[in-house]
Amino acid sequence: MSNLLVSNEVVLEPNDHKRLSSLCGPFDDNIKQIERRLGVEISYRDNQFKVLGKAQQAVATSELLKLLYIETQPVKGQIPDLNPEKVHLAIQEAKCLEQAEAGKHGKEVHIKTKRGVIKPRNPNQSQYVQNIVNHDISFGIGPAGTGKTYLAVASAVDALERQEVRRILLTRPAVEAGEKLGFLPGDLSQKVDPYLRPLYDALFEMLGFEKVEKLLERNVIEVAPLAYMRGRTLNDAFIILDESQNTTVEQMKMFLTRIGFNSRAVITGDITQVDLPRGVRSGLRHAIEVLKDVNDISFNFFNANDVVRHPVVTRIVMAYEEHERQQEEIRLKKEADKHAQSQGPQEKPSH
C-alpha cells in the first residue's frame, strides 16, 4: 500500500507569473532539487502543479510547494528570489511533514522568540525539543550543523521569556580545536570569548544585540568557561553545556552535580570531534555509558541526515562516518587475528 503511486494536484493562488518564476527557479532548478530530494515527479502549467509519487511524499511535496509560494510574496514591491539554501531548509521541513504523516513522531513544538518562531526542521530535532521541555537533563549528540546548540539556546530563551527560569547560563570547555593558540591577550572575558562565540551568536540572533548586552550586565544571562562552574549550585536556571565532548570525566560529573532545583540542563556535543589530549577520556562518551538508564535524562542522537546546512555538509559527514566505520572494522579484524595467533595451533586430542 505504501508503494502505491498517487497524483496530487495543487493550484497556487494568486496566479502571478513573477512569483511562479521565483518558485521554480532558473531553468526549473528549484523544482528539480525538490524532485531529487523527495523522490517525486512535478509537472506544471501556469499555477497548476501536479505531483506524482508515493502518498506520503506527494502530500509533503504539495505542502512544500504551498509554503515556498508564500515565501515569494512581494517585500516592498520586490519578489524575493528563492535561493538553494531556502529551498534546502524547506525540504528538510517537508521531510518532517512526511514523517509526521507516517506517525513517526508526536506533536510539533514551536519555540517563540522576539525575532520570530523557531521550528524544528526534521523529526529528530522535533523529538529533541520535546525532550528538552519534558526532561530535567537532555543530551543532544551528533555532527555539526544538526541544530543541537541553536535549538538548546532557543529553548532557553523561550523558558526565560515564559518566566519558567530566572536566568540562562551558557558554558563550554575552553579547549583548542587541534591548534596551539598560546597566551591570549586581554582580561578574562577577552580570553574566553573566542571559545564562547557560537553561543553569543545564537543569542544575538534571537534577542538582538542590545537586549543581550543588558541581560549580560544584569547577570540574567551568564556565559562562562566550564572551569568556573566548580563549587556552584544553580537553581531556577536553564544551563547549556556546549562542546561537551571536550570535557573530562571529572568535569562532566562536576557539571551534572551543579544542577539545582527548578533547573534544566542541555548537554550538546559531537563524540567524533574530541580535542582532548591523547589518552584523556571524553566525559561525554563516559556519561552516555553511565547515564543511559537514569530516569529524567534523555538522549538524542543526530546523524548526517539531520544536517540543516548546505547539502554538501551532509555528504561530508556521511563520508567521514563511512570511513570511521571501515577503520573500526579493520581494527576489530586485526584484534581477532592477533587473538587467534596468540592461541596458537590447537592440539588434536589423543585417543
Task: List domains and CATH numbers for the chain.
Answer: 5-101 (3.30.1370.10), 111-302 (3.40.50.300)
Rounded Cα distance between 240 and 165, Å, is 13
Whether 290 shows a pLDDT value over 80: the answer reads yes
pLDDT tens track for 140-152: 999 888 889 889 9
What is the mean pLDDT of the segment spanning 325-336? 84
Residue 50 C-beta-side C-alpha neighbours within 13 Å: 7
CB contact at 8 A, 147 and 303 = no
pTM beyond 0.85, yes or no: no
Whether 323 shows a pLDDT value over 70: the answer reads yes
CA 332-289-227 angle, 5° bins: 115
What is the mean pLDDT of the segment spanning 241-245? 92
**Nearest by Cα to 243 from 272, 270, 280, 277:** 270
